[in-house]
Structure 1
Amino acid sequence: MLKKAVKSLVKDPELIRKRREQMVKAAVHLFTEKGFHRTTTREIARESGFSIGTLYEYIRTKEDVLFLVCDSIYDEVHGRLQVLMKNEGSGLERLKNAISSYFQVIHEMQDEVLVMYQETKSLSKDALKYVLEKEVQMVAMIEEVIHHCVKDKLASISEKQIKLFAHNIVVSGQMWTFRRWSIQKLYNIEQYTQLQLENLLSSFKNAKAME
């Protein structure tokens, strides 16, 4: 699996997790301010609170740090949605919870999300392929929740429409970050989530199956 490509000279998994978490936070701050290409690994090390030598015990290249930023976002979203999948309740309640939870993750990690989508072009071909596959998996999890709504006869829509609704939900969450210079002057995350829930669920309930 591509994730193992980010090798470490350190053997302690918990220490690796802790140090890489520090690196991700430091890198997001620097990439937001200066961009990926203008940020040096020495600056990332200093912002992380350790030496350049220590940095290279946990990564090999600056691209590894960007890859870890992308991976941490998808892992967080996947983990939260996976918990929701196990919860009991109607399809509608699960969909509402999935959308709210996804929006909250985007809100909490909005700097990371912004950096990820701005800088993924800097990833290698293999790393980019992995990141895009993770995006597809995230959309698929939303699709699964929508399938429960269809099963509960909340709407009668085709498979293509289910996929499009799932993408609409994902993009609506991302918009909180990409358009934050405007949207966040008008709403807080709770207000934004409620309005988007109303819009998304209304269009979902009123949709008719494609021929």
Structure 2
Amino acid sequence: MAKGKKPIPSLVKDQKLVKRRREQMIEAAVSLFIEKGFHKTTTREIASKAGFSIGTLYEYIESKEDVLYLVCDAIHQELEDRIQQAIQEEEQGIDSLQAAIQHFFQVMNDMQDRVLLIYQEAKSLPQDTLSYVLNKEVDITNIFEQVLQKGIDDGSIQLDPKEVKLMAHNIMVLAEMWVFRRWALAKAFTLEEFIEKQTSLIMNQIRSKKEASNVGSTSPS
């Protein structure tokens, strides 16, 4: 799990109110950052779009970088939560993996502008805060590592333990490909076709390893 979550100081002690105000702030900032970019957006614009004054805004954060941090954290948390929902009901690891892959690709499409926002603007965060944000990416990758390991444990997936981490990162990169290169890929594939083909590539690689292992185990000595 990501470590070192940054505490954002607030002058307001009511934590329910802090949560509600920051959620309003995040939604306002996301749309402005996507439209104008982090550097061209002012805290006054964020406050106005969120529906309160600039003075009120600074009761809940100390800087515009705090808002960007809250935005990145909220986006990553939504990604993580939506993937976890997709794999809770599946039993075998191989089924959980396929469901998680397909759902993750769909989620990345649904949230593509927000995902791009993280990659474009997170570099503006202080180094310690950036490290936390990057570790949230690792947390999402770890979900796929856990599903792969579940399949190894129940026998539905056969992978060298050294390949589990690489495969999990491959899944992440393939999903991000649609976000970063959809301008080109969408000319050749629908989203459904892209998901189907990429899922097949991943699953076929796992099946080929399993088949090769089975052949090896039945070969005469």
- 5 Å-filtered alignment, 1:129-208, equals 129-207=131-209
Letter in 1 for 2:197: L
Contact 1:45 1:55 in 2 (8 A): yes
Q: 1:21 to 1:100 in 2, by over 3 A?
A: farther
1:109 counterpart letter in structure 2: M
1:85 shift after superposition: 5.1
TM-score of the pair, normalised by structure 1: 0.87
Give the conservation status (yes or no) of the 8 Å contact 1:41–1:62.
Answer: yes
Contact 1:76 1:105 in 2 (8 A): no
Secondary structure (helix, strand or coil) at the match of 1:135 reads helix
CA distance in 2, matches of 1:199, 1:85: 20
User: Structure 1: any 5+ residue segments left out of the alignment?
Assistant: none
Further displaced range: 161-170 or 42-51: 42-51
Aligned to 1:109: 111
When residues 83 and 37 of structure 1 are mapped into structure 2, their CA distance, relative to the original with a 3 A threshold, is same
Computing the radius of gyration from Cα coordinates, the structure with the larger value is: 2
Describe how 1:17-96 pairs up with structure 2 within 5 A: 17-84=19-86, 86-96=88-98
Q: State the Cα deviation string for residues 22-78 of structure 1 (Å, max 9, x = none).
A: 222222222223221222111211222221112112211111111111111221122
C-alpha separation between the residues in 2 aligned to 1:184 and 1:6? 40
* Alignment-mate amino acid for residue 137 of structure 2: E
Kindly indicate whether the alpha-carbon contact (under 8 Å) linking 2:108 and 2:115 is maintained by their aligned counterparts in 1: yes
Q: Return the offset for 1:88.
A: 4.3
CA distance in 1, matches of 2:34, 2:82: 25
CA RMSD of aligned residues (A): 2.2
> What TM-score do the two structures reach when normalised by structure 2?
0.83
Report if aligned partners of 2:87, 2:97 keep a CA contact under 8 Å in 1. no
Post-superposition shift, 1:125? 1.0
Deviates more, 1:70-79 or 1:147-156: 147-156
Structure 1 residue aligned with 2:219: none
Query: How many pairs does the alignment contain?
Result: 209
Following the alignment from structure 2 to structure 1, what is the Cα–Cα distance between the partners of residues 32 and 186? 22
CA contact (8 A) 2:86 2:100 kept: yes
Q: For residues 69-93 of structure 1, give each alpha carbon's deviation from its aligned partner in whole angstroms, at most 9, with x where no partner exists.
A: 1111221122233345543411111
Cα drift, residue 188 of structure 1: 4.3
Cα 1:20–1:164 shift into 2, 3 Å? same
CA distance in 2, matches of 1:176, 1:8: 38
* Cα distance, 1:100–1:14 mapped onto 2, change above 3 Å: farther
Moved more, 55-64 or 12-21: 12-21
- 1:173-194 C-alpha deviation (Å, 9 max, x unpaired): 2222212222344444433322
Work out the CA distance in 2 between the residues paired with 1:169 and 1:21. Answer: 30
2 CA distance for matches of 1:13 and 1:183? 44
Q: Gaps (5+ residues) in structure 2?
A: 214-221
